[in-house]
Amino acid sequence: MRRTPLPHRRQLLRSAVAGSLLFPGIVQQLLADDGDKLAAGLPHFPARAKHVIFLFMTGGVSHVDTFDPKPALTRDHGKEIQADHPEIKDRPGYERIFLKRPQWDFVPRGQCGTEISTLFSHVGSCADWLAVIRSMHTSHSNHYNATLGMHTGSFAFSRPSLGSWLSYALGSENRNLPSFVVLAPQQTYAGTQVYANDFLPAEHQGTLVVPGAEPVANVRPRVPAERQQMELEALRALNEVHLEARGADAALAARMRSFQTAFGMQRAVPEAFDFSRETAATLESYAVRPGQNAGFGWQCLAARRLVERGVRFVELIDTGSSGNWDAHGDMLSHEGLARNVDQPIAALLKDLRQRGLLDETLVVWTTEFGRTPFNNTADAKGREHHPWAFSSWLAGAGIRPGIVHGASDEHGLRAVENPVHVHDLHATILHLMGFDHERLTFRHAGRDYRLTDVHGQVVREILA
């Protein structure tokens, strides 16, 4: 009789995690030092929020067409102005520039009366829960740099992402799911750097989930669970002997943990992305059809389900099925893009609130920069990149609802009242999660690094 050999340690690891987007941190962790880096951590002070859902509209959403009404821009449409703007400086054809009016109407929403454009009528129905910041500004006008800055606080060099910092600080509430998940149909500007761990331990890298028939590749076990558990137990016994003979080798201890973590994920991940038990009314509210496995509505519903299951940080990147928000050629592209995300975002807010999750979940909506309130002709169809002013909004845990913070000037050119830099937004998010942004540091290459570098002030005016 021929004896079937026991599988090699590498073969078991390969069957559990290899080829999957779900486990970049686990695979790298094989060479990590000992210690359970995903164990739940303690904040500096009592946190207002336990989770973050970060809604990123890639490409640069026009603030003057969405969340920052400018009657003076309509009044002065066609007026020539002067501006030493980074996007038009020494650019042929832009020797003269003219104000360009908004292309959509603004309507007071909710009891708070916050004016939001008709592009976001569904989100507008949630205005009483939003804190809209109309004085955002950033440090770069290129997509790559501004996107990198919004995610990492660094506009030139790769640094750990916001989600990675929070994973490092707080660990995981559910050891069978990643602490940091990114839901995106395709990469955005700056690529994997927007969810990378950089110099933080590998297990804090964001897990990329691509909507589709198999959101997480190779996560479903290829053998029955009972057999796999037996194989893991046999491997654990062998590894314990191996570990004892080698003086508690840290890399081997980390490898042993990775097998059990992968096994837990094989059970938890398919369930998290199985919408079959969601009601027809819930699916309809998110604009998701039964059996649908892609689209921004799918991403929003998946975000709610992940937060329910203890994931700390969930980012949704809207890369658009027909392009992103980079409307150089035609602002009318904003109409289809807004239609794609408006209803699902409102459904997410309402669903979180109805389930009592909005009280512990911080929802952040943002983009990398705004778009120019001018162009080289008043009747130009598009708008250019604009780092001097744009809009973001926050809702949920710890946020003062139904308010507007800050302002840009009458034409939307510059943030002039209570300006909020990207570093300030990051400091505020960390504060709501229970952390002093100046004290949340990691020593690397001989110096202490932090998300906000040497900048950042908490925007206390938007806090409840």
According to the model, what pLDDT value does residue 31 have?
37
Q: How confident is the model at residue 11 (pLDDT cuts 50, 70, 90)?
A: very low
Q: What share of the chain in percent tops pLDDT 70? A: 85
Q: Are residues 297 and 401 in the same domain?
A: yes
Question: Structural domain tally of the chain?
Answer: 2
Q: Are residues 107 and 248 in the same domain?
A: no
Boundary residue ending a domain (206, 241, 269)? 269
Boundary residue ending a domain (269, 288, 307)? 269
According to the model, what pLDDT value does residue 24 have?
43
According to the model, what pLDDT value does residue 41 have?
73
CA angle (57 as vertex; 23, 345 as ends), nearest 5 = 90
Q: Are residues 242 and 343 in the same domain?
A: no
Q: Are residues 262 and 147 in the same domain?
A: no
What digits encode the pLDDT tens for the residues 179-209? 999 999 999 999 999 999 999 998 899 999 9
What digits encode the pLDDT tens for the residues 122-143? 999 999 999 999 999 999 999 9
Q: What is the DSSP letter of 36?
A: -
Q: Are residues 138 and 114 in the same domain?
A: yes
According to the model, what pLDDT value does residue 39 have?
61
What digits encode the pLDDT tens for the residues 215-262? 876 666 666 767 767 777 777 787 777 777 776 666 666 566 656 666
Boundary residue ending a domain (269, 284, 299)? 269
What is the distance between the alpha carbons of residues 254 and 259, in angstroms, rounded to a whole number? 9
Q: Are residues 60 and 180 in the same domain?
A: yes
- Residue 444 DSSP SS3: strand
Q: Is the pLDDT of residue 29 over 50?
A: no
Q: Are residues 290 and 420 in the same domain?
A: yes
According to the model, what pLDDT value does residue 144 have?
98
Q: Are residues 82 and 107 in the same domain?
A: yes
- Closest by CA position to 371, among listed 54, 113, 70: 70
What digits encode the pLDDT tens for the residues 68-113? 999 999 999 999 999 999 999 999 999 999 999 999 999 999 999 9
CATH assignment at residue 207: 3.40.720
Output 446-449 pairs: Cβ under 8 A, ≥24 positions apart.
Answer: 449/159, 449/160, 449/199
User: Taking the CA atoms of the chain, what radius of gyration do you get in angstroms?
Assistant: 24
Residue 52 CA, chain-centre distance (Å), reads 8
Q: Is the pLDDT of residue 386 over 60?
A: yes
Q: What share of the chain in percent tops pLDDT 90? A: 75
Average model confidence (pLDDT) across the chain: 88
Q: Are residues 331 and 246 in the same domain?
A: no
According to the model, what pLDDT value does residue 416 have?
98
Q: How confident is the model at residue 40 (pLDDT cuts 50, 70, 90)?
A: low
Q: Are residues 25 and 153 in the same domain?
A: no
Q: Are residues 298 and 258 in the same domain?
A: no
What digits encode the pLDDT tens for the residues 425-436? 999 999 999 999
Q: How confident is the model at residue 461 (pLDDT cuts 50, 70, 90)?
A: very high
* Amino acid in position 376: N
Q: Are residues 112 and 249 in the same domain?
A: no
**Structural domain range at position 154:** 36-216+273-462
